[in-house]
Amino acid sequence: MLGRRRFRGARKEKLNNIMTATTKEEIEIALKIINKSFSTVAKDFGFTKDNTPLFPAFITNEILGNQIVNGLRLFLYQESEKLVGCIGIKQPGIKNYKIERLAVLPEFRHKKIGYQLMKYAIEKIKEEKGKTVEVEIVNENTILKEWYKKLGFIEKRIDHYDGLLFSVGVLEKEV
């Protein structure tokens, strides 16, 4: 079973519990982690597939596949031989990066997995000579906003998009 195997060989990353998602099966696992993780946020804020179809709790394999084709790289986190978290990195500019799809399964939260994924992503960005990293969040999610601030992110702006029930808080950090 893919979710229970140990990572070996060329795909092993610097941290023994983080790997790059490259196969169809690994990307499908990442999607399940994203959907399940973001479903708690959707529930808290009243987002549904009907009123906010592009919220990560509801994205499809096709949408995630298109994001990967457009440069999103996904990494998976293993805890107790189970894949329980993921994070994505995208490079929209020469020295500018975005972190997307940070997700930890609800039953594995509060174990510093999100922090380890962020640390890993930022180290990757530094290795690639990135200068800034940006995250976008549900601006009304004050708990998450404060968590990012503790990691050194500062509020850059608040965006509003037609069709979204929430404003998008954009936070940035120099690396």
Per-residue pLDDT, averaged over 31-40, amounts to: 98
* Composition of the chain by helix, strand, coil, percent to 5: 40, 30, 35
According to the CATH classification, is domain 2-135 in 1.10.10.10? Answer: no
pTM: 0.89
Q: What is the pLDDT of residues 51-93, one digit of tens each?
A: 999 899 999 999 999 999 999 999 999 998 899 999 999 999 8
